[in-house]
Amino acid sequence: MTFRQSEQVRHDQVNLIGLLNRIEKTVTSAGWQEEDTRQPAWVNTQGMLQKLKYAKKLLRNTELNAHFSDTSSRQRYQDFNKVIDRLEFSVLEVDKCVTPKPVLPSPVLPTLPLPISFAPASMQSVIQPKPDDDTPPLLTASTNGTATHPAQDLLLSPSDTATLPPIKPIKPIDPNSALLPPNLPLQAETTRATASGTPAFLQNSAALQEEMSEQLAKMATQLKRNALHFADSLEKDKAVVLGAQEKMERNFDVMSKERVRLRDHRSKSWGTTWIVVLSLFIAAIGFVMTFFVIRLT
């Protein structure tokens, strides 16, 4: 075990003992589970349970890292476990008594108003067709929904059947005439009626579409002009780039030639430099030797 781990175990032991002492004093004191103006009792019990959970964590850490050299240390940890279990049992008993029961909220669906139909009169006339003259009064009343009759009154008596108007014979349908399309004047009248009854919003939408088409045409013209302008600019930039490329190629050729010339000059000047240095060195040695010969003689 490292030094840091041993220090952490020692701190956990000290914190565990202090925490258990504070919890035991709080639980044994009278009135801690009563209602308070600042916070209710179930908040206190929940806080105690969280503290006991933290105490269990500290005890588990110390037990894992502790070395039981004798039976006294093992007995001490067992006593800690018993104290924690006893305090947790008492706090749970109090928490069961003071915890408020959950109250379900009132349903919202009954408070919502019933949906109201906002269908226009034209739609209602389409949904509820007008009765024909040949329809019996009984069927008309049941269709419109204005009068209701019991089930026994729906059956006709012999006297009612005698008063009914005679049924008109149904003429046979000519298949040739039934398959023919309607006449052209009817189509012209239908088209004229549709054109005359065109709503105002369709006319507005047509005008809006024309205006948008004009704007799109203007935008297309402007985009074409921009494309031509950008093409001219790109051509000019391309010419400038080509000119710069030619200048850089010429500069590169000149620099290559100068580099070769400097390399040759360096090789030549290096030899002449050594010759000059050696000549100076020899002249200095000759001067010194001449000076010593003159002094000695």
DSSP assignment of 26-86 equals HHHSTTTTS--SSS-HHHHHHHHHHHHHHHHHHHHHHHHH----SHHHHHHHHHHHHHHHH
Structure tokens at 275: 């010759």
Buried b (16+ CB within 10 A) or exposed e, 2-17: eeeeeeebeebbeebe
Closest CA to 48 of 4, 105, 93, 80: 93
The arithmetic mean of pLDDT across residues 21-46, rounded, is 74
For residue 272, is it within any domain?
no
Assess if residue 126 is contained within a domain. no
Residue 45 lies in a domain: yes
Please write the tens of the pLDDT for every residue from 237-293: 999 999 999 999 999 999 999 999 988 888 888 888 888 899 999 999 999 999 988
DSSP reduced 3-state for 287: helix
Whole-number pLDDT of residue 263: 87
Q: Which domain holds residue 69?
A: 3-98
Does residue 88 fall inside a structural domain?
Answer: yes
- Please tell me the distance from the alpha carbon of residue 39 to that of residue 234, in angstroms, as a whole number: 77
What confidence tens digit (pLDDT) does each residue in 74-89 have? Answer: 788 888 888 888 888 8
34-60 average pLDDT score = 79
Confidence of residue 297 (pLDDT cuts 50, 70, 90): confident
Average pLDDT, the chain: 74
Residue 69 pLDDT grade (very low, low, confident, very high; cuts 50, 70, 90): low
Answer whether residue 162 is part of any domain: no
Give the model's pLDDT for residue 73: 74
- The yes-or-no verdict on residue 50 having pLDDT over 70 is yes
Q: Is 36 among the domain residues?
A: yes
Flag whether 51 is in a domain: yes
- What pLDDT does 95 receive? 82
- Residue 18 is assigned to a structural domain of this protein: yes
pLDDT in tens, 151-209: 444 445 445 544 555 555 555 555 444 444 444 444 444 455 444 445 676 778 888 89
What pLDDT does residue 182 have?
Answer: 47
User: Contact 48/26 with Cβ under 8 angstroms?
Assistant: yes
Q: Give the total number of structural domains in the chain.
A: 1
